[in-house]
Amino acid sequence: MKQDLIAILDLGSEQNAALARQIRAEGVYSEVYPGTITLDELAGKPGLKGVILNPGTNAVNSPSGVGYQTEGLAVPVITALPQDYLGEVYPEDALRAFLFDACHCEKNWNMENFIEDQIALMREQIGNDRVILALSGGVDSSVVAALLIKAIGKQLTCVHVNHGLLRKGEPEEVCRVFREELDADLIYVDAADRFLDLLAGVEDPEQKRMIIGKEFIEVFNEEAAKLQGIKFLAQGTIYPDIVESGMQSGKSVKAHHNVGGLPKDMKFELVEPLKYLFKDEVRACGKALGLPDSMVYRQPFPGPGLGVRCIGAITRDRLEAVRESDAILREEFANAGLQGKVWQYFTLIPDFRSVGVRDNDRCFEWPVIIRAVNTVDAMTATIEPLDWALLGRITDRILNEVKGVNRVLYDITPKPTGTIEWE
C-alpha cells in the first residue's frame, strides 16, 4: 500500500467522521472501524501506523470505561478526548504530535496514491471475473465507473437506465463520456415509457419514489440476467453513507430513495471502491481520473429525478416543460457565473393552472417555480438572493421557449419550513 493508515475506533463518539477528516487534512489517511473489530483484524490493516480510540462523551460519563484492550498491538494508541466543538474537534497540536512524532506517519495521502491503491485492491478482488455497475451519471457512480475502467477495462459492464426523469442532455452526456472518451462497455436502456406508464395517475410523492426505485431494480435485473458470468456488483457507496449510520435520530421526512442504490441481497459480491471517501474527495478522485467538470461538479440531483419536480400525477407535457425550463435555468446560471456557487437550483411545475393572456387571447397554463438554495448538509437551507435582472432573463426565456407555461414564480422559502424539493 502507498499510504500510511491511522485507525479510528468508534467507541460511541458521534465525531468519528470529523476526526477522520481532520487527520486526512494533515495529509495522513484515516479510516473508522467499529469498536467490535478484533485486535487481529486491526493489526492486519495494511499500512497501519497508529490507533485512536474514540469514545466521545462516553469517556466523560465513564473515563475508565473506554473498554478496548490494545495490549500487544505494535503501533502507538491514544484515546481521543474532544475539546469543545467551537472550533477544531480535537486539539491540533496533540493530534500532530501523535501522527508525526509518535507514529512517524508520512504525509502520503493523496488522490494519485489512493487511485493506485484502489486499482491494486480491485484487481486482486476481481481477478478475471466480470463486474456490473448501474451508472446513473451522478458523481459517485461516474467516479466508480472511471476507476473500474482503469483497473479492469472491459471486464466492467455499465448499465445506464434512462427512466425518463433525467435532465435535458444527461443520457447523451453519459453515453458520450463513457463510450467515446473512456471506451467503456456501456448498455443504454431507454425505459422512459415503462416508468411513465407505471407512474400515470400516481399523485403521492412517496408512492412515486417507491415505484421508480422498484422499477429501476427490475430493469437493471433484466439487463444483468442477459449477461453471462457476472460475479460482482459495483456501487458508489461513499463514506458518509456508512460512517455515522445508526447514530442519527433516523427520523425521516422523505424516503430519499436513491435510484442507483441496489439491494444487497442480489446474488453478486460487492465492489465499493469509494466507501472510504468523503464527497469532496470523490470529486477530487473524479478530476484526477479525467472526468469532465460537468460530471465531477454536478449539483445534487434526486434519484427519482424530475419525477418529484413534476408535482402530483406526472404528465408528459408538464414533464417536458420541467425539463426545458430546468435547462434554461441551468444555462442562465452558467452564463451568470453561478454554476458551482449555488448549491442546488432547479425548476418545478405544480399540478394547477392559472389564467393569463398570450397574443391578446386568454390562456390557461402551468406556472414554473424556480428554487435556488444554499446548504452545507441539506438538513437546513437558505435562499440564494438572486439578482432581479437574472430572474427577469430567465422568466422571459421560459415564457417564450417553454410550451404550456404562462407564469414564473420564485420560491423564497428556507428549509425549514420548506424542504428543498417540493415532494
- Beta-strand relationship, 354-358 and 344-348: unpaired
Q: How far apart are the first and last CA of the chain?
A: 45
Burial (Cβ within 10 Å: 0-12, 13-18, ≥19) of residue 274: buried
CB of 416: closest distance to ligand XMP in angstroms? 9
Taking the C-alpha atoms of residue 143 and residue 289, their distance in angstroms, rounded to an integer, is 8
What is the C-alpha to C-alpha distance for residues 314 and 211, in angstroms, rounded to an integer? 13
Query: Based on CB atoms, which residue is closest to ligand XMP, 218 or 317?
Result: 218
Q: How far is the CB of 421 from ligand XMP (least distance, A)?
A: 4
Minimum Å gap between C-beta 3 and ligand XMP is 30
What's the closest the beta carbon of residue 42 comes to ligand XMP, in angstroms? 34
Q: How far is the CB of 168 from ligand XMP (least distance, A)?
A: 17
**DSSP state, 119?**
H
Min. distance of Cβ 287 from ligand XMP in angstroms?
A: 21
> What is the SS3 assignment for 156?
strand
Least distance to ligand XMP, CB of residue 284, Å = 21
CB nearer ligand XMP, residue 275 or residue 415: 415
Q: Which is nearer to ligand XMP, 257 or 318 (CB)?
A: 257
Phi-psi bin for 12: left (phi > 0), alpha (psi -120 to 50), beta? left
Burial class (CB in 10 A: 0-12, 13-18, 19+), 309: buried
Closer CB to ligand XMP, 103 or 166, in the complex: 166
Per-residue buried b or exposed e for 98-120, using 16+ beta carbons within 10 Å of the residue's own CB: bbeeebebeeebeeeebbebbbe
Q: What is d(CA 423, CA 418) in angstroms, rounded to the nearest whole number?
A: 10
Least distance (Å) between residue 346 CB and ligand XMP: 8
- DSSP annotation of 308: G
Q: Rank residues 12 and 312 by Cβ distance to ligand XMP and give the closer one.
A: 312
- Pick 82 or 236: Cβ nearer ligand XMP: 236
Nearer to ligand XMP, 52 or 259 (CB): 259
Which residues pair with residue 132 across a beta bridge? 157, 233
**Which contacts (CB < 8 Å, 24+ apart) does range 202-206 have?**
202/313, 202/314, 203/312, 203/313, 203/351, 205/254, 205/308, 205/423, 206/254, 206/255
Q: Which residues bind ligand XMP (CB under 6 A)?
A: 209, 253-254, 256-258, 300, 302-304, 344, 378, 415, 419-421
How far apart are CB 188 and ligand XMP at their closest, in Å?
A: 21
Q: Which is nearer to ligand XMP, 138 or 273 (CB)?
A: 138
Nearer to ligand XMP, 326 or 421 (CB): 421
Cell numbers placing 332: 442562465
Q: Cα–Cα distance between 278 and 271 in angstroms, integer?
A: 17
